[in-house]
Copies of this chain bind each other. A is one copy, B any other.
Amino acid sequence: MSILVVGSVALDSIQTPFGKKDDVLGGSATYFSIAASFFNKVDIVATVGEDFPKRYITLFKCINIGTSGLSIAKGKTFRWKGRYNYDLNIAHTIYTHLNVFKGFKPEVPRSLRNSKFIFLANIDPELQYDVLTQIKNPKFIACDSMNYWIEHKRKDLERILEHIDMLLLNDSEARQFSGESNLIKAAQLIASFGPKAVVIKKGEHGVIYFSKNSHFIAPAYLLESLYDPTGAGDTFAGGMMGFLSKANRINESVIRKGIIYGSILASFAVEDFSVNRLLEISISDINSRYDHYRRITKF
């Protein structure tokens, strides 16, 4: 079943101890949709500026990513510049130029309003809610957020939590939202606002998934070389939801497998700058690494 993602398509400038890149393809919807595209058709709802390289739009189309919801607005594309030191878990923002993203009002094309798997990437929770009102009969809605919205738009974020199946946050955001340092307690408090499941992302330390009655711990795939962690969380979400949409049923077992596929996709994403590594791999590379993951976690 088809997947819809609402988020950013951006040009990133990135510095890590392993090199630097300027104006490369980035944005939450980009990472998400490329990861999900290994499993299913994905449609992007986002906006870019007139300076957005046409080759990227061609690329999206080539790999089964629908761009009918990707508008080209007057002005410049959203740009983010960040730096990572040796602790690649922490992104230091140098600048964020919202540009055309400042006036972004996501409009879901009529033909996509019956999409079944919806990912609300990290944008203003008011806009996330607005997107939901445009969708007809979704089957599974997942939502990401960030520290800024937790601090400045808490009420809007709480409202969206009543309407979603899964919230994805990193560990510091989960602690910030809940005021609980213990992650089990943090997840329980977040779940009390409505979402059926909470996924707490711990970067190189993996992921913890909480549902009402159970939890699931998945360590990250161990890498020998890690170049650029940008987009790892959105890639994780894309791999997971791609797998769920392909399975086309939601239960604990499918979600757990989806979480591992998400982790595997994220492990590829960080092996090169931007989405470069994701564009090199095939589903058989993904499946081999999934099998290897199973072997190195089995006991």
Complex Cα distance, B42 from A159, in Å, reads 57
> Is residue A208 contacting chain B, with contact meaning CB distance below 8 A?
yes
> Is residue A111 contacting chain B, with contact meaning CB distance below 8 A?
no
Complex Cα distance, B257 from A214, in Å, reads 23
User: Provided the pairs A217-B296, A260-B299, A299-B257 are in contact, do residues A86 and B222 lie with their beta carbons within 8 angstroms?
Assistant: no
> Is residue A62 contacting chain B, with contact meaning CB distance below 8 A?
no
A223 contacts which of B184, B219, B225, B295 (Cβ < 8 Å)? Answer: B184
Report 25 cross-chain contacts, Cβ distance below 8 Å, ordered by A residue.
A86-B181, A182-B223, A182-B225, A182-B226, A183-B222, A184-B222, A184-B223, A185-B224, A202-B205, A205-B205, A205-B206, A205-B219, A214-B296, A216-B299, A217-B297, A218-B219, A218-B297, A218-B299, A253-B299, A256-B298, A257-B299, A259-B299, A260-B299, A294-B299, A297-B297
> Is residue A215 contacting chain B, with contact meaning CB distance below 8 A?
yes
Task: Tell me the number of copies of this protein.
Answer: 2
> A244 CB to closest chain B CB, in angstroms?
13
User: Provided the pairs A205-B202, A205-B205, A299-B256 are in contact, do residues A215 and B222 lie with their beta carbons within 8 angstroms?
Assistant: yes
Contact residues, A187-221 vs B (CB, 8 A): 202, 205-206, 208, 214-219
> A224 CB to closest chain B CB, in angstroms?
5
Looking at A224, A259, A294, which has the most chain B CB atoms within 10 Å of its CB?
A: A224
Prevailing SS type, chain A contact patch: mixed
Contacts beyond the supplied A205-B206, A214-B295, A217-B296: 9 A-B pairs with Cβ under 8 Å: A182-B225, A184-B223, A202-B205, A216-B296, A217-B222, A219-B219, A253-B299, A256-B298, A256-B299
Chain B positions within 8 Å of A206 at CB level = 205, 219
On A, residues with C-beta under 8 Å from B are 86, 181-185, 202, 205-206, 208, 214-219, 222-226, 253, 256-257, 259-260, 294-299
Complex Cα distance, B226 from A224, in Å, reads 32
Chain B positions within 8 Å of A208 at CB level = 222
Complex Cα distance, B183 from A181, in Å, reads 26
> A10 CB to closest chain B CB, in angstroms?
28
Complex Cα distance, B293 from A217, in Å, reads 9
> A221 CB to closest chain B CB, in angstroms?
8
Chain B positions within 8 Å of A299 at CB level = 216, 218, 253, 256-257, 259-260, 294
Contact call A219/B222, Cβ cutoff below 8 A = no
Complex Cα distance, B225 from A182, in Å, reads 8
Chain B positions within 8 Å of A257 at CB level = 299
Complex Cα distance, B204 from A202, in Å, reads 11
- Chain B, residue nearest A87 (CB): B181
Chain B positions within 8 Å of A215 at CB level = 222, 296
Chain B positions within 8 Å of A217 at CB level = 219, 222, 296-297
Q: 9 closest pairs, A vs B, by CB?
A: A256-B299, A205-B205, A217-B219, A219-B219, A184-B224, A260-B299, A257-B299, A217-B297, A217-B296
